[in-house]
Chain A
Amino acid sequence: MRIIVIGAGKVGYALAEHLIAEEHDVIVIDKDDDVISRCSGSLDALCLKGNGANAKILLEAGVEKANIVIASTENDETNMLACLISKRLGAQYTIARIRDPEFNESQMLLQNELGIDVAINPERATALEISRLLRYPFAGSIESFAKGQVEMVEFKAAQQDPFVGIPIKIISSEVPSMPRVLYAVIERNNQVIIPDGDFIIQAGDRVFVSADMLKITDYFRFLGRNRQKIRSVMVLGGGRISYYLSRLIIPMGIHVTLFEINPEKARTLSELLPKVDVILGDGTDEDLIEEQGLSQMDAFISLSNRDEENLISGMHASRCGVPKVIVKNSRMSHLDILSDLGLDSVISPQFITCSTILRYVRARENSNGTKIERLYRLVDGKAEAMEFIAMKGDAYIGIPLKDLVIRQGMLVAVIVRQGKVIVPFGNDHIEAGDHVVIIACESGVSDLNEVIYR
């Protein structure tokens, strides 16, 4: 596809890099000379200097032939204008990064009137991600598919877990009371494995299990993980993410203590969020946060604007015994190093924005061409989940899965039949019209018939 990326900041650059790796024709527009010369050296893309909201530059970039225009400059107005102009000039699909909460309130109107097909708010997306992590505090990451009906949760297997040390296919007969979930992906020593029935999970493996929301909750209750339910959270920094996060988690019955150093901001926050304890002060001050009961907190979330501060505070909280520590890191590189530091969850708004946009792009791509309905990247892109629709007349229809051949290194993760989620086992079968989620290490499959056959 021909994709125009406007603004090559952290998000724009990473997006362009990913899109090029996926063989798209990418055109980058940025107004900064240095950015453009860096991009033209390291990206296999056409790099143009200019304002992305300028029709002349957009025409030079061939906007009339563009399949997707992604506006990711730091300026909301520029992004909206760029999308509006692109759409009028003939671009098929536009994605804008819009972060101002004021604009969010009139989002629907803006989207309809300005021709923006998708508006991404990085701060809100980040807050959503954090709130999901708080819901499953033991989880490293949570992914949802099939319109949110199915969830895939990553956690670390412990020695006392009943499924450790036995082959996957006999888990349900050995431990019949445990809710049945699908062991979709195992990550061991940075290697991603799609397990088959004979695979034995060991303690320390990162396990990705998937099932519908209810079953997942039951499963973790059975494992005894959900005892660490989060009731109190300390948040450092009173930015937009903190605001969105507070609004999301207060209804979940979580108490929020928020530190903000700027008096005016602190005042506004306490005005907007009456249930939050807003503390005026420096969140990196050890005495102050201890005074507010840091070591009794269930979670500590560091969301200041400085990465270094976030990391140090996070490590400090971790050492004080806070069970769940989440820190924000705006650099997208070095994420793997950070997980070595003992911080369970490092989130980067840029990464989240980038992967959200990529998901839309892939969905868009799949709607023309292959039969994949949707595509998700798992485990930092080392595995993929593909959502297909089973077609009438395909060879696998109606036959129990145990009688079919499933391609090596792939797994039928979920079948969604008329809104009902089935975690498939040997006796289940696929019917025409089912949404089937396949998990695979390799990409490059474009048809369900290539995955399952007789």
Chain B
Amino acid sequence: MAQLFTPAATTLFRVVIVLIGAGIVAAGVMAYVWARSDSTWNVGKSAPQPVPFRHDLHSGSLRIDCRYCHSTVERAADAGMPSAQTCMSCHSQVWVGASVLEPVRSSFTLGQPIEWTSVHRLPDYAYFHHAAHITKGVACETCHGRVDQMPKTVKTQTLSMGWCLNCHRDPVPNLRPREAVFTMGYEAHGKDLPGDIRELYREASRRLTSCNTCHR
């Protein structure tokens, strides 16, 4: 009877087994890298907006306070998007006829909100409260980056759960004095917070990492 397999078949069989093993390891490594890459989380990617709004102009050059437009950020879960009325408080005087502002004017006339595309959308099972963070000294800049330098609004952080937990496990390094919360380009000195507050947050990290703090 002729041989069923050539001598090379054994080598081939072993090579295939090794390759399958290597493939599984490689797939694991690739998944690990992919899950952590910025593009997976849309970091640095801008979204198409109805009006080419420029944060760098309004917040950067003109130094308008964040709260002028995001008016509920200190009181509510949602930071709040400005109504057309807020926009028109200036734009009834400046850039009156500009065609790019047409959606703002029609929104103002019709009383219909402008449909912005959210850049920092969290999943609906994650409960996030802006005021809770702002009033406790987490700055805008910490999560949203240097908005005052952005011609187009983009994410600078992944907003992954691991990223949230990094801070919830030890919030102190990311906390600022109240007066610096809306500052851009703030440099922390590390000793700005009183010792008792630092102590408080160290103890609070257990409560801050409990599941139902964010998943209610």
A, B in one complex: no
Chain A contacts to B: CB under 8 angstroms:
none
Chain B contacts to A: CB under 8 angstroms:
none
